[in-house]
Structure 1
Amino acid sequence: MADLEISEEEDGDFDLAGDAVQQSNVPSPSEQSSSCTDNSEDDESSSQNHRMFWEKCERFEGLQVTFSPTEVAEHNEKQIMDYFQQYFDLAFFKDTSELTNMRYLQQTGRSLKLSAKELRVFIGATILMSCLRYPRVRMYWGKTTRVISITEIMTRDQHFTIRSNLKVIDDNAVTEETRRKDKLWKIRPLLERVKRACLSLPRSPEVAVDEQMIPFTGACAIKQFVRGKPNPEGLKNFVLAAPSGLVLDFEIYQGKETFPEAIGQQLKQGIGAPAVLRLCQSLPEGTHVFFDRYFTSVPLLESLAEKNLPATGTIMKSRIPRAVHLTADKILANQGRGSVDQTVRKDKLISIVKWYDQKPVITASTKVGKNPMDQCKRWSKKDRRYIQVRRPAVISCYNKNMGGTDLIDRMMSFYRVCTRTKKWTVKTIFHFIDLGIANSWIQYRSDRIKNDEPKKNILQYLDFKIRIPEHLLRGQEEQHSDEDDEESTPKRRRLLPPQSPSPSVTHLPEMTGLKNSMRCKNSGCTKKIKIRCKGCSVFLCLTSQKNCFSEYHQK
């Protein structure tokens, strides 16, 4: 995975405000001298107002905390399905099949008779479809585009029936109070299952918090629109991820009630600060947290420092304290690319660094400052070649560790389960199946690298993802249950041929009130009608051009 670099195209990480705003913050010489001197009276008044002096300083040590990871049992002999079953085990398929049957029975009055084995086949077929990427689902059962591994096990109508009735919770068991408080109650068991698996993963010394979009364009009360995202419309998901892309925790945004403990406190700084504090609850002390300008604020950095969690992020000009005086953009531009200005708070807890490349980039950190400086290769439009530009340590550290969420988003987008549905619950279920597979591959790849596995023997993401439906469709996974329905390969349900008419029954045609027409059951006829035999309940044509009703009963 290539490290992310802040480029001139990434407007989200740059402050595009005009120079006039920056120049308005430049103090007079008397103010500069007073801000750099030690005045006890000013210190007392600033402490009363919860303000600190800021001064130009070349040295910044930051928060000194040792990372203390929690011990996690290692399993070096894991197979592919062992990784996948961390998120979706046999109990998930059994519970979901029962709830789907219950849903179908309540809606139609008939039993779907869906077993856990058949649900595994459905999930396997759906994952395989995402790898093949046909433009329409019906094409997998088409005459010329048929996929044998799917059509021999499951019919098209069965696939659509299961998908439209897919449920992970019993609606009747949810109280009205729970429905009011939790807008995600329809998929809450699935979210808790995947979240438990993510929380059991080993913690990384560096993590990043960022937004992730669950694509959905239908009607949903918690749908958001985030301009600039590859999928701007859908459900917003706050994600905590390692630099490798491994998702460690997440929280779907459902309005101001998402973080009830933050209302009236950090909510004044926006929803970003409560989201970071919520996702950092499972982190051990010393973990370095990264986030972008949407989340960063000085109160958030202070709150994380109280928990012994150093943090770094790009910051908006509007969130920089008024006491901070940074060099104007025009002055840095005249000094050339790579010019840096650093301001440190007097208690040495927070540093604010302004770096000028093509545009100014402002960062705030409780861990890293501008030193030690290094060199980075950047493209020069003027010289039409790559040049070496001085880069502060905080920018290098930010680029190296911030892109975890973007990495897993890109992986999921390559072979995402794309199915047209009006139900946000179904879309979210498929999203977290994709997330579980992507997380599984990252774990698999990391374990193989630790075991010094040759690179050619490590499966790529597409090959890894295809292996999962192979096991689900053909029953090749190791069985962890003694249930009889888990021991055999699922068979396709075939429609029985129409029975021959009984001579003891009176056969009369009747017009049904069905919404859709049915295909004529007489051999050789392909017409669709709404007429059926009252005696044998078989749909047959009865028109002036063709009388299949008479032909069928004379056989």
Structure 2
Amino acid sequence: MTRISCLPVLFPSGVSEPVDYFRHLFHREIMEEVVRQTNLYALQRDVTRPLNVTVAEMEQFIGVCFHMSIHVLPKTRLYWNPQTRVEMVASTMSLNRWENIKRHLHFADNNNQVPGGDKLFKVRPLLNFLNDSYRSIPMDEMLCVDEQMVPFKGKSQLKQYIPMKPKRWGYKINMALCTTLMCTQGPFNPVMDSLTLLFFDNWFCSVDLQILLEKEKIHSVGTVRQGRLAGCTFMDDRAMKAKGRGTHEEKMTTHNGVNLWAVKWFDNRPVTLLSTFVAANPTTQVLRWDKKKKEVVRVSRPNVVAVYNKSMGGVDLLDSLIALYRTKIRSKKWYHRIVFHMLDMTLVEAWLLHRRDCQSQMPEIAHLPLLDFKIQVASCLCMENKVSNKRKGRPSQAVVVGKNKRGPQSFVPPDPVRRDRTDHWPLHASEKGRCKMPGCKGIVRSKCSKCAVFLCFTQEMTE
């Protein structure tokens, strides 16, 4: 039987498909290792009930998880419930199979675990693979280091409480990010190799650290706690507030052959910064809203503050991107929360790589938003090169009563799914539809069994 050819490529040359960016970071070697450890764990639990999951099924499992982060329901079983069914989830994999894979999802051999050893043993192989993938991204000269919270309120020795974070309970990760939000070093490994500028907050900043970095030819800037500046006294907070916003004071010293500049600046509240390469001058003017005058006023800002604000905050922005469509799948296993967070972060990093390539190839209006990017990746993982999972038995004989109304435009799968040459067969539909081939206005009954779109079944179309 002749297969139906699907739509042409829509992306310009030089920009890959969204799913290719995700697979570049979460590559096949990682997927094969996850499949191997998952099948091994299923045999360790019950040798008579092997799981026999494949790489294709594991991709479908991840694709379903991504769809669940977009179509958020309070319970996972609702995605298969007839009243709240989500077609892209329910038609990809059965509920029992998805729950079985989730139950046995594993990343390390339990026989190799040492009592009292690595607390992240369960996910260490996955983190190592992802660290290597993130290192393949070219690193900028400016790098910011900050903490990231993985929200979690279950029982775990690794769970921490940080009251100043938006998500106070969870796992804390030390992140190293470029100013373009590219995770160059990956989570749980904030060691830097070759860079020239480093930015961090008062959790890390100290005089000894900045001296050590400067001797390694790494300039640094960071907010610092007053107690870590021994022998350095600044103007009192009340005195600075009385002088008004924009007041600053600078101290400079040389310690172990390294020049250090400490600057205290009062904006809405006082802040102290420590630097080894930039000082307070030259100052610039910034706009601020004055509550008393009820107007916008100009406030003097030291140069060190401008440099710090320009390059710091990447981890917080990455957190906000992950939180937009976070995978919220409940599990009894504590490490599943880390795994789903890593998947979400890898997809956001893939979107950033895709957007970077699009900036030189496409107009800004044609760039894919994060939501559309995640939908395309999830659809490709669920459908590309996969055989349809059709249920056995007689089809439903439900009868629709009433006048037929024009519904929404039919879903067109992404280009990798349309051109994967797997399971695209012509079907004779009971209803008619317009051909989806660009430029064709034919009304036909032939339909693709996988893409579920109407296409003309002619000699020109099938060649």
TM-score normalised per structure 1: 0.65
* Aligned-residue offset at 1:488: 4.1
Q: 1:334 aligns with which of 238, 242, 247?
A: 242
Secondary structure of the residue aligned to 1:245 is coil
For the residue of structure 2 that corresponds to 1:345, the secondary structure is strand
Code of the aligned partner of 1:411: L
Q: Unaligned stretches of 5+ in structure 2?
A: 1-12, 395-463
- AA aligned opposite 1:491: N
Give the direction of change, closer, same or farther, for the CA distance of 1:493–1:378 in structure 2 (3 Å limit). same
For 1:289, give the aligned amino acid: L
1:126 aligns with 2:102: no
Cα shift readout 1:42-63 (whole Å, capped 9, x = no counterpart): xxxxxxxxxxxxxxxxxxxxxx
1:206 positional shift: 1.5
- Counterpart residue number, 2:431: none
Of 152, 157, 176, 1:240 maps to 176
Q: Give identity over the alignment, percent.
A: 31
Match of 1:204 in 2: 140
1:138 Cα deviation from its structure 2 partner: 1.5
Q: Which amino acid aligns with 2:190?
A: L
1:67 is aligned to: none
Aligned 1:278-357 pairs, distance under 5 A: 279-284=190-195, 286=196, 288-322=197-231, 324-346=232-254, 349-357=259-267
| Secondary structure, aligned partner of 1:349 | strand
Q: Hey, what's the Cα distance between the residues in 2 that align with 1:320 and 1:87?
A: 42
Indicate the residue corresponding to 2:120 in structure 1: 184
2:99: which partner in 1? 160
* Structure 1 residue 383 corresponds to structure 2 residue 293: yes
Q: Secondary structure at the match of 2:85?
A: coil
Q: Which moved more, 1:461-470 or 1:340-349?
A: 340-349
Alignment partner for residue 350 of structure 2, among 423, 440, 449?
A: 440
> 2:289, 2:295 within 8 Å by CA — same for their partners in 1?
yes
Deviates more, 1:209-218 or 1:89-98: 89-98
Structure 1 residue 422: Cα displacement: 2.1
In 2, distance between residues paired with 1:250 and 1:366?
Answer: 26
Match of 2:110 in 1: 171
Matched with 1:362 is 272
Mapped contact 1:121–1:490 kept (Cα < 8 A)? no
Amino acid at match of 2:70: C
Q: Are 1:245 and 1:406, in contact at CA under 8 Å, matched by a contact in 2?
A: no
> Can you list the C-alpha shifts for 1:379-407, whole angstroms capped at 9, x where unaligned?
21111222110000111111111110011
CA distance in 1, matches of 2:58, 2:133: 21
* TM-score between both structures, scaled by the size of structure 2: 0.78
Q: Is the 8 A contact 1:243 1:401 kept in 2?
A: yes
Please say if 1:489 is aligned against 2:387. Answer: yes
Asked whether the 8 Å contact 1:314–1:361 carries over to 2, the reply is yes
- The structural deviation recorded for 1:175 is 4.9
Q: Distance in 1 between matches of 2:65 and 2:87?
A: 14
Measure, in 2, the Cα distance between the counterparts of 1:170 and 1:454: 48
Opposite residue 159 of structure 2, the aligned amino acid is: K
CA contact (8 A) 1:154 1:492 kept: no
Aligned-pair CA distance for 1:78: 3.0
Determine the C-alpha separation between the residues in 2 that align with 1:297 and 1:92: 38
Matches within 5 A, 1:74-85: 76-85=14-23
Contact 1:378 1:386 in 2 (8 A): yes
What is the RMSD computed on CA atoms of the aligned residues? 1.9
Could you tell me which residue of structure 1 aligns to residue 38 of structure 2?
Answer: 100
Query: What amino acid sits opposite 1:413 in the alignment?
Result: A
Aligned equivalents of 2:391, 2:123: Cα separation in 1: 29
Structure 1 counterpart of 2:149, from 213, 218, 226: 213
Match of 1:308, SS state, is coil
Q: Partners in 2 of 1:91 and 1:247 — Cα distance?
A: 20
> For 1:316-342, what per-residue CA distance to the aligned partner results, in whole angstroms no more than 9, with x for missing partners?
1111121x2322223322322111111
Give the equivalent residue in structure 1 for 2:25.
87
Q: C-alpha separation between the residues in 1 aligned to 2:166 and 2:157?
A: 21
Taking the TM superposition and a 5 Å limit, the aligned residue runs for 1:57-68 are: none
Amino acid at match of 2:165: K
2:122 aligns to what SS in structure 1?
helix
2:248 touches 2:266 (CA, 8 Å); kept in 1?
A: yes
Query: What are the within-5 Å matches in structure 2 for residues 417-428 of structure 1?
Result: 417-428=327-338
* 1:350 aligned counterpart, secondary structure: strand
Other structure's SS at 2:205 match: coil
How far does residue 494 in structure 1 lie from its aligned partner after superposition?
5.8
Distance 1:243 1:493 in 2: 49
Normalized per residue, which structure has more helix?
1
- 1:174-212 deviation per Cα after TM superposition (whole angstroms, max 9, x unaligned): 152xx5331111111100111011111111122111000
Distance 1:122 1:251 in 2: 23
Cα distance in 1 for partners of 2:204, 2:121 equals: 27
- The equivalent of 2:339 in structure 1 is 429
1:528-543 alignment runs, 5 A limit: none
Q: Deviations over 1:382-438 (max 9, x none)?
A: 112221100001111111111100111000001000011121221111110001001
8 A contact 2:148–2:175 mirrored in 1 = yes
In 1, distance between residues paired with 2:162 and 2:392? 46
Structure (1 or 2) with the larger CA radius of gyration: 1
